[in-house]
Amino acid sequence: MAPIPSLAVRGSEGLCLFRGPPTNRFEEGFGSDESPKCRVMRFSTDGSLFTWCNGISIFVVRTDTYETVFELDLPKTSGLVISPKNSCLATWEVYQEVAGQPGVPNFHIYDLESGDCLRSVTQKRQIENWEPQWTEDESVCAQISTGEVLFFQNNDFAKPVQRLQLKGITGCKISPGPVPPKVAVYAPGAKGAPSFVRLFKFPNFSGPGAALANKSFYKADRAHILWNKQATAVLIICIADVDQTGASYYGEQTLHYLSTNGEGSNVTLSKKGPIYSIDWSPIANEFCVVYGFMPAKSTLFNHKCEPIFDFGTGPKNCVYYNPLGSIICFAGFGNLRGQMEFWERKQLIKIGSTTAPDTTHFLWSPDGEHFATATCSPRLREGNGFKLWHYNGTLLYDHPLKNNHELWEIQWQSYPEGTFTPKVVTSPLPVQSKQPAEPPKATYRPPHARDKPTKDVLHADTYEPPSNVKTTANEAPLSKSAQKNKRKREAKAKAKASEPPQSSRSQEQRDAIAMATHILTPDEAPVQVGVNPEVDKKIKNIRKKLKAIEKLKEQQKSGKPLEANQLEKLKSEGELLQELKHLEIS
């Protein structure tokens, strides 16, 4: 029987654990930490451990028995990470200098079994990239430092076994999956030089040909790197703080694809505007993007950056695959009204929809069937609380916070891969609702517009419906040469259709020329024009001559002077047409 995931809830009332659907109750065995200074909390990778800091001490407990396995007095801790195999605990706090004197080390790694401190250093400016990154078996650990990335093996932090040194490194992402890991690093451009992302394979970081792939680009003040689950490619979201065209107040974003085999490309988006959200599929080498000026468009791409399904446009700015890769959620949060719609990935059909106004956090449950939404402070300080839902849109539980208390964060308990199996239906079947959904709020209308007809949804008349980009779901993508030939055929057909009729020739002449200038496409079978090989050969030769004559006529019309032998060819057109007619009749 599959387990029931827990939801960790942290706010001004303290910290507690809540058991998800179908139980929907608080964990009495865990109790609660009522400290109003809980700065951070974290589940381990397999969900067997849970750690938090309440402003006095750090605690690590088992999630099955709630037994405390580690406790440490570090009251200012604001970052916690447990290594994948639960061997180490990494902590971080804001670096501080007192009266101009150097501060104490603010980054530590502890052995959870013995309690020993394995590493203690100072990290002044790594607020976003402080976390050490382990491989799944903990054989390699990477930590970004000033101008380099340090690598340690087997949790021996006395001395790094390898260094990746590149000037200006500000970002590093180690790949998921088995060892040896791959490493993606980002360095912003400086003094006219472009920004770049490079991929390496541990431990080959130096020498010619060490980089597996390299991508350089301008207009990038920042970049986010996203590895796919298979560790074969990354998506790079480049962000320029200022849009030079003035089209967007929020700057300019571009999306790039870089593979470990050295291939790289820009992801072509069919609508101009910001890139709001991107998510890799957890089970396939594909990704989904929400982009463009409102109403935003959402598109599914394959590993060749080719669109395979267009979900249309609408009021959305977020995309989330469920942990099993079987459902895709599109949502509109922030300045949108909280509309959500759910699509079954295999058949690409819509299976549910609902609305959660004022949502600031969305989290899929590890079971892939339920999800949580929350209104958290400081984004919104009013109406804080969380809700639990079924993917078909049914509200299962609503927990609002009272007396102006604030909710700061929620987290689902994680589980090892394979714990849950997909339970997907292809139609929105009803689920027993344990809490009535709140009625929709009326849209505000100014006094001068209240007696006039209105549309229920903004931009509803401009929404584009979903469409399948490929005619067949399993259709193999065209090669570059096939795409080139297809474009040539389409251009020739368009040019031929736009040609004015040549009334100076008889209908018999026009029919013969049309037959003579017919070009076989690669997919067409050759036309059988006769049974006599010699006659067929003569017909083909005459058609070639007539085709050449047509080209000369086009050149003559464009004003290009013809030579004497070319003019002689033009005079032979009538004889060739008569000969062609005679051969075809015979």
Alpha-carbon gap, residue 350 to 343, rounded angstroms = 4
Distances (CA, A) of 403 to 4, 18, 32, 406: 30, 20, 19, 9
Can you give the pLDDT of all 586 residues of the chain as single tens digits? 788 999 999 999 999 999 998 888 998 888 888 888 898 999 999 999 999 999 899 999 999 899 999 999 999 898 999 999 999 999 999 888 877 777 788 899 999 999 999 999 888 766 567 889 999 989 999 998 887 889 999 999 989 899 888 888 888 899 998 888 999 998 888 777 888 898 998 888 887 778 888 888 887 788 889 999 988 999 998 888 777 777 677 778 889 999 988 888 888 888 888 899 999 999 988 999 999 888 899 999 998 888 999 988 899 999 999 999 999 999 999 888 889 999 998 888 898 889 999 899 999 999 999 999 999 988 888 889 999 999 988 899 999 998 889 999 999 999 998 888 877 665 555 554 444 545 555 666 677 777 666 554 555 556 777 777 654 334 445 555 666 677 777 777 777 666 655 444 555 555 555 554 444 334 444 444 445 677 778 888 888 888 888 888 888 887 788 787 888 888 888 888 888 877 777 5
Query: Residue 343 pairs with which residues in a beta bridge?
Result: 328, 350
* Distance separating alpha carbons of residues 418 and 174, to the nearest angstrom: 23
> Exposed e or buried b for every residue in 142-181, given b needs 16+ CB within 10 A?
bbbbeebbbbbbebebeebebebebeebbbbbbbeeeeeb
Contact 227, 234 (CB under 8 A): yes
Sheet containing 370-375: give its strands across: 361-364, 370-375, 385-390, 395-400
Residue type, 202: F
Q: How far is it, in rounded angstroms, from Cα 355 to Cα 142?
A: 41
Q: Write down the pLDDT at residue 529.
A: 43
Cβ-contact 155, 141 below 8 angstroms: yes
Label residue 157 left, alpha or beta by phi (over 0 means left) and psi (-120 to 50 means alpha): alpha
The count of other CB atoms within 10 Å of the CB of residue 74 is 17
Q: What is the pLDDT of residue 328?
A: 93
Structure-block tokens of residue 548 = 């050449």
Is the bond leading into 282 cis (omega within 30 degrees of zero)? Answer: no
Sheet holding 117-121, edge to edge: 79-82, 88-92, 107-111, 117-121
Q: Where are the alpha helices (DSSP H) in 421-572?
A: 480-498, 507-516, 533-557, 564-571
- Give me the DSSP letters along 243-288: -TTSS-TT-EEEEEEEETTS-EEE---SS-S-EEEEEE-SSSS-EE
Per-residue burial over 413-422, b if 16 or more Cβ lie within 10 Å, else e, is bbbeeeebeb
422 near 409, Cβ under 8 Å?
A: no
pTM comes to 0.72
d(CA 114, CA 116): 5
